[in-house]
Chain A
Amino acid sequence: MDGIITEKDYPIQGLWIFKPIIGSLLGLIILAPLFWFSRFGTSKNPKISIYILLIIIFSIFHFIVTILRRATFHYSIEGSFLILRQGILSKQQRHIPYGVIQNLFVVQDLFDRIFRLASLTIENASQGAGAFSTPQKQKVFGLRIGNQRRQQMEIVGFYRNKISIPGLTKTNAEILKGIILQKMKENPIEDNQSGL
């Protein structure tokens, strides 16, 4: 497999930047009728206006940060390493040998399903980067419950032992997964980690 593959070949789609603000939009939709009644009803409640203003400000801020995060995240699949760069104000760079990559996830939430997107998540075994700090799900009556909201929080870039590339098209996510698997096969670590 020749050539360097970067985010220019398999980009994060522009549509993805609207995903984080959907929660804020839902909040606005819920509060809008209350705002209408508070403005034109018999009992005026100024607090509703403040809440709506706060949501709008937060949404705009969140939207800008998401655009900047997407613009400043770069990945490069090279011969021996997966190279990552990210950071809006403080810059970070990581070189990850393919041999330490443990798992690959391709995940689609509801927004992704509607717009045919997918997130590719790569996990490595770096203990210092938090490989052992993911909260576990507990089983209650055969159902798994746990810190699902935190686990499902979507980021772009690397965090602890996870590298997340959201907003890819489903096809691109599968292709990238295949490329990384091939790189893992071509670049094993001599002292493999399996105890079996």
Chain B
Amino acid sequence: MQIAQSKTREQFPLSYNKIMKKTIASTIAIMILLLIIWGFLAFMFVSIGQEVIAWLGIAAFVIFGFLFVVILSTYFYQRWYFAVYFYDLTPDFIQIKKGPITPREITLPYERIQDVYVDQDLLDRIFGLYDVHLSSATISSGVEAHIDGVEKQAAEGLRAILLETIKQRISKNKANPSTNNPIS
């Protein structure tokens, strides 16, 4: 599967642990859901008063079979997601594009970036992954504009280069104010 390459992704690559982390996260969520369904079915059969053992066994078999298929599908989907994940620091803006089936791309000019922060959730800590978040003055950018699943060195490198680029752009704009400013 061909990986979407950019200079930035070559320099600060995603970690392959991201695939396992996302697969496990999806599996946990689905397992909880299936457990609830199985519990509900067990309660239903007991309350009806039928011979439940055989039916519960069949239900468990179907649920676990379904779980296996879901885990396998999730793993291959996450591999696909990993391959098409694209991010690039161009001279004027940062571009992040994600999603193999329904791609979403966000373009954020450096001058609009208000905040650069790095975080880890529990599974990120287990797998040694970090998420680099950018935000402009809108909340949706804080949700959408992030590069998740990089290792510590890449996260720190991305943060440093982003902060440096933003500072340079701001200094450059202050030194050369535009004559086309519609506000003044």
Residue A44 at the chain B interface, CB threshold 8 Å: no
Binds A, one of B1-9, B38-46, B47-55, B176-184: B176-184
Inter-chain CA distance A100–B9, complex, in Å, is 29
Residue A105 at the chain B interface, CB threshold 8 Å: yes
| Contact between A186 and B180, CB atoms less than 8 A apart | yes
Residue A60 at the chain B interface, CB threshold 8 Å: no
Residues of the A chain whose Cβ atoms lie less than 8 Å from the Cβ of B170: 192, 194, 196
Q: Provided the pairs A139-B121, A187-B182 are in contact, do residues A193 and B137 lie with their beta carbons within 8 angstroms?
A: yes
Inter-chain CA distance A104–B138, complex, in Å, is 11
Residue A13 at the chain B interface, CB threshold 8 Å: no
Min CB gap A137→B, angstroms? 5
| Contact between A105 and B139, CB atoms less than 8 A apart | no
Inter-chain CA distance A107–B102, complex, in Å, is 7
Residues of the A chain whose Cβ atoms lie less than 8 Å from the Cβ of B167: 196
Min CB gap A80→B, angstroms? 4
| Contact between B102 and A102, CB atoms less than 8 A apart | no
Residue B175 at the chain A interface, CB threshold 8 Å: no
Q: What is the size category of the interface that chain A forms with chain B? A: 35 or more
**CB-CB nearest in chain B for A142:** B25
**CB-CB nearest in chain A for B137:** A125
| Contact between A105 and B138, CB atoms less than 8 A apart | no
| Contact between A196 and B163, CB atoms less than 8 A apart | yes
Inter-chain CA distance A161–B140, complex, in Å, is 11
Inter-chain CA distance A113–B115, complex, in Å, is 33
Residues of the B chain whose Cβ atoms lie less than 8 Å from the Cβ of A189: 181, 183
> What 14 new A-B contacts, CB under 8 Å, besides A151-B140, A181-B107?
A97-B182, A99-B182, A102-B137, A103-B136, A107-B105, A108-B103, A110-B101, A140-B29, A141-B122, A141-B123, A143-B29, A187-B182, A189-B183, A196-B115
Rank and list the top 4 A-B pairs by shortest CB-CB distance, nearest first.
Answer: A125-B137, A142-B25, A80-B182, A102-B136
Interface residues of chain A, those whose CB is within 8 Å of chain B, are 79-81, 97-99, 101-110, 112-113, 123-125, 131-134, 136-137, 139-144, 146, 151, 161, 177, 181, 184-190, 192-196
12 contacts between A and B (CB under 8 A): A79-B180, A103-B140, A108-B102, A113-B103, A141-B123, A142-B121, A142-B122, A187-B180, A188-B173, A193-B137, A194-B170, A196-B166
